[in-house]
Amino acid sequence: MSKSSLIAGLIGATSLVGLSALGVQAQTSGEPVKIGAIVSVTGAGAGLGGPERNGLLLAEKDINAKGGIKGRPIKFIIEDDASNPDTALSKANDLIFGQKVQALLGPSLTASTVAVGGVTHANKIPQIAFTGIGPAVERERKCVAHVLPPQRLNATALLEYAKSIKANKIGVLHDAGYGNVVMAELRPLADKYGVKLVAVEKFEIGATDTTTQAAKVKAAQPDAVFIIATSATPFRNVKQIQITQPVVAAIGSSSYEYVNAMGPAADNIVIPEFVVGEDPLPHQKAFVELFKQTYNSTPKNYEAAAWDAAHIIAAALNKAGADATGEKLCEAMKAPYTGVLANYDFSADDMTGIPLSSFIFSKLVGGKYTRTPFRITQ
Amino acid sequence: MTLSLVLQALFAGVTNGIVYALVGMGLSAIFKGSRVINAMQGEFAVIGAMTTVLLLTKAGWPYPAAIAGGALSGALVGAFIEVAFVRFMARKNASEDSFLLLTIGLALTLSASVLFFIGRDGHLLPPLGGEGVLIILDAVIQFHALWLIAIGIGATLALRAFYHRTTIGLSMMAASIDADGAATTGINVGRMRTFTFVRGGLLGALGGILVTPLIGVDYQLGLNLTLKGFAAAVLGGLTNPLGAAVGGLTLGLVESLAIIGISSSYKDVVAFSVLIVIMILMPQGILGRAGRRGG
């Protein structure tokens, strides 16, 4: 092949590649629409913020590939709050007043969400938090939406599963942070479900051994054991002292990080959650496939929550216009939305609107997630 | 409260106590030999355990070799820290507070390095003696925990023999009690301090490797172990490595018995109240005076 024909061939190939890229990707042009995002990439909340950032970056690519916001590209300015509410607040101020973002996504943790909500609420900037609704003040903030379920819903899902396996006597192992918050909702609900909490044992966050607490739960002879924690330790201890009753875990433990740390104990544990990447629901398949191609790993709930938040704000911008005021964007957001994680309705009182029927129940079998057929019908 | 529950609490208390003791013994061995309160003692455990995990899973070494490699890595890091940092600071007569700040800084740096290079994930090691358990009156204890207890007691006795029976142990003790006096009799005080750190690193790494099959290891484990180990060491008398063993067992047992006796919600309140009372009644630690005699 001569030199000139080689060059001609190369030019031809390049233009073909260019054409095919054009065919798949819609072109975006003009000034980017800026959206701020605050996640905890470092610090105690890094297990949430890391996955959320991956979800956001993937969503940004996806939204722009599909035409952006009325032809303009969307741009997420992602900041790390180091799991600290003060840092979250100063980052929010910078994003809103310095960078002039249209809306804010995040933060990852409840304390930071409450802090940032004070600014977004006062300045009518739409916010979609990667947390469940927390203290009462958040109910008054009608433009701070939440893409994760409130703890009351998590507690209800645990009890629904207990009811389905006819477990009336429940033992609980919970940590002093996340576990305490869920327990506060679980106690009053248990009566309603006719469930008796025969042993409720607490351990500190970061505890390296909870064997004695587990032994007390075992001694109370429950029909099933709830574990509400963000650590692998209680799961290992429960298996070590040979508790054979079914173990149901709250969504806080549903990450690969914890499951890997459970080792052989990651077996026969049921978790009410939303995304099982190994066996996604039909409407979750496209997201899961795209995620796997991009990151070479399997997504779980937090990746999906961030992806949903990004698409919800994009949909609102497309509806209300790229330069719409915060108030208009808020109005545009207040509609039912079918996301990858769940079905939301931000006009609901809890600023989430996730129904119990959005929960799926995964089961760890030999360290692998499987999806059980059990769903809650409302 | 049933007998089996009490027995289960005793098993858990002794197992945890030995872990606290191993960390505490390393801490007090270093304090004894160099007057440095080593806030990175728990990081030695993380280094030892993580090295063992990597040698076993990534390099494919046989388990005993990986354990030896992990323990050695703790010793080497200990030596490095003495040669690279402590030696220079000691030459300039750095105060105890400066050394404390140094080790706190090193603890944070090492924990961040583990996070950066190895990642957030927790890792487990295979238990010694397999997954088997011993069941007495419905109370369960892993074979591995029995190994841990046996090795922990063995290490304690070996440490005692080392201080009392070997020339190098006696030299280390002399160098720590009176550095100038030791130097005039021909003891190389600087080298003794390096050995002190080597042994502290070795003990810490050994503790980390032994505890990993039970509780797993991740980048955050170090600080947790340091705090409990420090409590154990102070409780037993900081200048006496044997005291750390007694302190560790006391702490472990008080913690687990508080859970069954009162409530898991008040575990730390009860455990630390007991510690405060002990410290008021015995300000030198449980074995404080024995420590003065050379422990």
CATH at residue B103: 1.10.3470
> How many Cβ pairs closer than 8 A exist between chain A and B?
86
Tell me which residue range forms the domain holding B274. 3-292
Residue A17 has pLDDT above 90, yes or no: no
Residue A334 forms part of a structural domain: yes
CATH of the domain at A77: 3.40.50.2300
Q: What is the mean pLDDT of chain A?
A: 90
Tell me the average pLDDT across B237-248. Answer: 86
Residue A25 has pLDDT above 70, yes or no: no
Residues of B in contact with A50 (CB under 8 A): 120
Model-level pTM? 0.84
Whether residue B260 and residue A216 make contact (CB cut-off 8 A), yes or no, is: yes
Higher-scoring residue by pLDDT: A77, B236: A77
Please tell me which of the candidates B124, B142, B265 has its beta carbon nearest to residue A202: B265
Number of domains in chain A: 2
Residue-by-residue DSSP string for A183-222: HHHHHHHHHHTT-EEEEEEEE-TT-S--HHHHHHHHHT--
pLDDT tens for A312-326 read 999 999 999 988 999
The helix or strand, by DSSP H or E, that contains position A77, with its residue range, turns out to be strand A74-80
A271 and A159, same domain (yes or no): yes
Tell me the average pLDDT across A155-174. Answer: 96
Identify the band that residue B93 occupies on the pLDDT scale cut at 50, 70 and 90. confident
| Test mutation, A174, A227, A241, chain B, max B CBs within 10 A | A241
A247 and A364, same domain (yes or no): yes
Please tell me which of the candidates A203, A204, A261 has its beta carbon nearest to residue B216: A261
Alpha-carbon distances, residue A284 vs A172, A219, A259 (angstroms): 32, 42, 22
A129 and A51, same domain (yes or no): yes
A160 and A260, same domain (yes or no): yes
pLDDT at residue A19, as a whole number: 40
Residues of A in contact with B118 (CB under 8 A): none
pLDDT at residue B261, as a whole number: 86
> A131 to chain B, minimum CA–CA distance in Å?
21
A156 and A266, same domain (yes or no): yes
pLDDT at residue A174, as a whole number: 95
Torsion region of B258: left, alpha or beta (phi above 0 gives left; psi -120 to 50 gives alpha): alpha
Share of chain A above pLDDT 90, in %: 76
Q: Is the dihedral of CA B13, B17, B19, B20 positive or negative?
A: positive
Residue B50 has pLDDT above 90, yes or no: yes
Most confident of A139-143, A161-165, B115-119, B189-193: A161-165
Tell me the average pLDDT across B192-200. Answer: 92
Tell me which residue range forms the domain holding A258. 151-276+359-371
Tell me the average pLDDT across B9-24. Answer: 93
Chain position carrying tokens 């996504």: A105
Whether residue A261 and residue B121 make contact (CB cut-off 8 A), yes or no, is: yes
What's the ipTM? 0.82
Residue A5 has pLDDT above 60, yes or no: no
Tell me the average pLDDT across B180-204. Answer: 91
Identify the band that residue A247 occupies on the pLDDT scale cut at 50, 70 and 90. very high
Tell me the average pLDDT across B73-98. Answer: 92
Tell me the average pLDDT across B35-60. Answer: 94
Number of domains in chain B: 1
Spatial CA neighbour of A254 closest among A51, A88, A103, A113: A51
A212 and A180, same domain (yes or no): yes
pLDDT at residue B35, as a whole number: 84
Share of chain A above pLDDT 70, in %: 93
pLDDT tens for A106-124 read 999 989 999 999 999 999 9
Tell me the average pLDDT across A211-231. Answer: 94
pLDDT at residue A23, as a whole number: 42
A260 and A172, same domain (yes or no): yes
Residue B220 has pLDDT above 50, yes or no: yes
Residue A21 has pLDDT above 50, yes or no: no
Amino acid of residue A302: Y
A287 and A253, same domain (yes or no): no
Alpha-carbon distances, residue A355 vs A154, A288, A378 (angstroms): 11, 22, 8
pLDDT at residue B290, as a whole number: 58
Residue B239 has pLDDT above 50, yes or no: yes
Tell me the average pLDDT across A113-141. Answer: 92
Please tell me which of the candidates B8, B218, B265 has its beta carbon nearest to residue A215: B8
Nearest-angstrom CA–CA distance, A128 and A116: 11
Residues of B in contact with A264 (CB under 8 A): 131
Tell me the average pLDDT across B85-99. Answer: 89
CB atoms within 10 A of CB A121: 17
pLDDT tens for B264-294 read 888 888 888 888 888 888 888 887 655 444 4
pLDDT at residue A29, as a whole number: 86
Residue A7 forms part of a structural domain: no
Residues A110 and A46: beta-carbon distance below 8 Å: no
Residues of B in contact with A267 (CB under 8 A): none
Whether residue B122 and residue A257 make contact (CB cut-off 8 A), yes or no, is: yes
> A208 to chain B, minimum CA–CA distance in Å?
6
Whether residue B264 and residue A212 make contact (CB cut-off 8 A), yes or no, is: yes
Residue B227 touches partner A, C-beta closer than 8 Å: no
Higher-scoring residue by pLDDT: A304, A258: A304
Q: How big, in percent rounded to 5, are the helix, strand and coil portions of chain A? A: 45, 20, 35
User: φ and ψ at A257, to 5 degrees?
Assistant: -55, -50
Higher-scoring residue by pLDDT: B261, A174: A174
pLDDT at residue B289, as a whole number: 59
Nearest-angstrom CA–CA distance, A302 and A294: 16
A171 and A142, same domain (yes or no): no
